[in-house]
Chain A
């Protein structure tokens, strides 16, 4: 019960945070220099043309009124029109968000799938050579900038070895409309198109690997530290004295209590990559929301910027809420007391 009220409180706070976020971004987007109408029309547009467009966009009205209009649109689920693409921001975000989400999801699966076992290996062979190797690798992975890794992988796997494609989500020649979820891996399976699935996976590998490396290193280090901490607990020694086999002690008795820190950090990484993946998205010409967000900011495409920020914010809140629930599932102490 306490856990439930804890979650409800988190949701209410999140709504408040989102409202605050919308205000701050709204003001910042309008205070920074540069006139959206001027930038959209180009340097040779006449002042009259610019004024007309400003009026069209509502930029001549008081700031408070502009904000009210924006909120009104938001409640209808309408984010307005993008100056950059001249399409509804809703449509732009729907497409680009799916691309980014698929990329980041794949990134997290890689980061957890390799990071956690590596951390377990390092903790199990603490101070032996596997530990040294994992720690070296983890530091290396954590400090290598993702754009550098992206270029390196592109050159190596793409241009030198011709193993994997280096740009986009699918080959241009392949006709496929991702119409259900927008996630190619899922939609292709739903449509029974295994060829599309394979291609989508091949296109995902390099960008998600570039993004995953840092998180993977962090996961490995966190899991290692957490496992070592737990391995010194009395209940692990007790399990040994009661004759629980070693493999079970490591994979169950030690892993589960160690899992909360990596899980929490994973949630934060997951949410922040949605907006932070832009460098890798640009290197791989990935049609994602992070790259879209950067382009719209440079263009002072106000509606689109607000849309991207709000969607990222909501996503951040949702991911963290999910993580809270998962943490409660992993560690009953959280569920029972509402905290750890």
Chain B
């Protein structure tokens, strides 16, 4: 079976202050339908650029897609017109944003922001529903992300909600139009560990229940282990290793992966500071 999303030999340059740097070197990865895939790497490894390229959020310039293909559901996204590209956003593929404190507009209510997203997603899908029906759907999705009081939450401004609640709102926003692929950019990193664990469990449950494909982008190997069945390791713009998640942890192949695993703090067995790879 072919993958729902398939990135083929993607190379991306960035030009800043007249200097061009290649930040992605022939990156390839597959996200099969209903699969939970992780893309792991440290800051600057190119995972965010990969994600933005998939979502069509790269600003060009400074970015320039030199070569490669991003095939979604049989179509190469890079050959689509802008309008066709936009049409997929939030409907076919959605993003769960990383920082709940800064990813919601501070001056509009949750209901306002969510129903606006839904309104334009509906329009792209050639559907329409009344403002009332939109609110019904907003409340429905909010309760699906285990929000106890959807009416109160939707009437709130972001500042009135806790970090964990805002993160749930961001997940709810991504789910509004039932996308087939969810791209999660380190959700919960900005939260405390307990809340982050809850958020990850919620995300995993939602994805499993609905049979969504998940691409989890993270720097945290713990998150990889919790949320994915297959993992791609990125370093300095290249995919350096890919494997079943269990295999990766039991027998890592590349030196970089080994050092990543060694750098994970442990409660037993003494101190492992790991080594910094060049």
Bound form: Cα–Cα A236–B55 in Å: 15
Does A61 sit within 8 A of B, measured CB to CB?
A: no
A332 touching B89, Cβ below 8 Å: no
B107 touching A257, Cβ below 8 Å: yes
A240 touching B90, Cβ below 8 Å: no
CB-CB contacts of B140-173 with A at 8 A, as 1s and 0s?
0000000000000000010110000000001001
Bound form: Cα–Cα A331–B105 in Å: 11
Q: Contacts of A332 on B, CB cut-off 8 Å? A: 106-107, 157, 159
B159 touching A238, Cβ below 8 Å: no
Instruction: Indicate which residue in B57, B106, B107, B170 contacts A240 across the interface (CB closer than 8 Å).
Output: B57
Does A193 sit within 8 A of B, measured CB to CB?
A: no
Contact A244/B107 with A235-B102, A237-B57, A333-B159 known, Cβ cut-off 8 Å: no
B89 touching A241, Cβ below 8 Å: yes
B91 touching A234, Cβ below 8 Å: no
B105 touching A235, Cβ below 8 Å: yes
Q: Which of B80-109 contact A (CB under 8 A)?
A: 86-87, 89-91, 94-95, 97, 99, 102-108
Query: Nearest B residue to A336 by beta-carbon distance?
Result: B159
Contact A242/B90 with A235-B106, A330-B107 known, Cβ cut-off 8 Å: yes
Does A233 sit within 8 A of B, measured CB to CB?
A: yes
Q: Is the interface of A mostly helix, strand, loop or mixed?
A: helix
Q: Contacts of B105 on A, CB cut-off 8 Å? A: 235, 239, 253, 257
Contact A242/B117 with A237-B57, A256-B107 known, Cβ cut-off 8 Å: yes
A243 touching B103, Cβ below 8 Å: no
Contact A243/B95 with A256-B108, A336-B160 known, Cβ cut-off 8 Å: no
Bound form: Cα–Cα A237–B58 in Å: 11
B124 touching A243, Cβ below 8 Å: yes
CB distance from A128 to the nearest CB of B (A): 13
CB distance from A179 to the nearest CB of B (A): 42
Does A47 sit within 8 A of B, measured CB to CB?
A: no
Does B254 sit within 8 A of A, measured CB to CB?
A: no
Q: Contacts of A245 on B, CB cut-off 8 Å? A: 120
Bound form: Cα–Cα A165–B163 in Å: 60
B90 touching A238, Cβ below 8 Å: no
B159 touching A242, Cβ below 8 Å: no
CB distance from A6 to the nearest CB of B (A): 16
Q: Contacts of B90 on A, CB cut-off 8 Å? A: 241-243
Query: Nearest A residue to B93 by beta-carbon distance?
Result: A241
Q: Contacts of A233 on B, CB cut-off 8 Å? A: 102
CB-CB contacts of A304-340 with B at 8 A, as 1s and 0s?
0000000000000000000000000011110011000
Bound form: Cα–Cα A248–B105 in Å: 13
CB distance from A251 to the nearest CB of B (A): 12
Q: Contacts of B95 on A, CB cut-off 8 Å? A: 238, 241-242
From A253, A256, A332, A337, residue with most partner B Cβ within 10 Å: A332
Q: Contacts of B103 on A, CB cut-off 8 Å? A: 234-235, 238
B107 touching A331, Cβ below 8 Å: yes
A243 touching B160, Cβ below 8 Å: no
CB-CB contacts of B100-130 with A at 8 A, as 1s and 0s?
0011111110000000110011001000000
Q: Which of B165-194 contact A (CB under 8 A)?
A: 170, 173-174
From A234, A253, A257, residue with most partner B Cβ within 10 Å: A234
Q: Contacts of A333 on B, CB cut-off 8 Å? A: 106-107, 157, 159
Bound form: Cα–Cα A266–B12 in Å: 46
Q: Contacts of B124 on A, CB cut-off 8 Å? A: 243
Query: Nearest B residue to A340 by beta-carbon distance?
Result: B106
CB distance from A252 to the nearest CB of B (A): 8
A243 touching B102, Cβ below 8 Å: no
Contact A243/B91 with A234-B99, A336-B157 known, Cβ cut-off 8 Å: yes
Instruction: Indicate which residue in A237, A240, A248 contacts B116 across the interface (CB closer than 8 Å).
Output: A248
Bound form: Cα–Cα A248–B119 in Å: 12
From A238, A239, A332, residue with most partner B Cβ within 10 Å: A238
CB-CB contacts of A240-280 with B at 8 A, as 1s and 0s?
11111100100001001100000000000000000000000
Bound form: Cα–Cα A238–B169 in Å: 12
Bound form: Cα–Cα A333–B160 in Å: 9
Q: Contacts of A336 on B, CB cut-off 8 Å? A: 157, 159-160
Bound form: Cα–Cα A75–B99 in Å: 56
Contact A243/B86 with A237-B57, A332-B157 known, Cβ cut-off 8 Å: yes
Bound form: Cα–Cα A258–B70 in Å: 36
Q: Contacts of A248 on B, CB cut-off 8 Å? A: 116, 120
Q: Contacts of B104 on A, CB cut-off 8 Å? A: 235, 238
B102 touching A244, Cβ below 8 Å: no
CB distance from B126 to the nearest CB of A (A): 14
Contact A234/B97 with A241-B89, A243-B91 known, Cβ cut-off 8 Å: yes
Kindly list the 8 A-B residue pairs having the minimum CB-CB distance in the complex, ordered from nearest. A243-B90, A243-B89, A234-B102, A332-B157, A238-B103, A235-B105, A242-B117, A234-B103
Known: A242-B89, A257-B107, A333-B107; 10 extra A-B contacts, CB below 8 A, are A234-B97, A234-B99, A238-B95, A238-B103, A242-B94, A242-B173, A257-B106, A332-B157, A333-B159, A336-B159
Q: What are 22 inter-chain pairs, A to B, with CB distance below 8 A?
A: A233-B102, A234-B99, A234-B103, A235-B106, A237-B57, A238-B95, A238-B97, A238-B103, A238-B170, A240-B89, A242-B89, A242-B94, A242-B95, A242-B173, A243-B89, A243-B117, A243-B120, A245-B120, A256-B108, A330-B107, A333-B159, A336-B159
B residues whose Cβ falls under 8 Å from a Cβ of A: 55, 57, 86-87, 89-91, 94-95, 97, 99, 102-108, 116-117, 120-121, 124, 157, 159-160, 170, 173-174
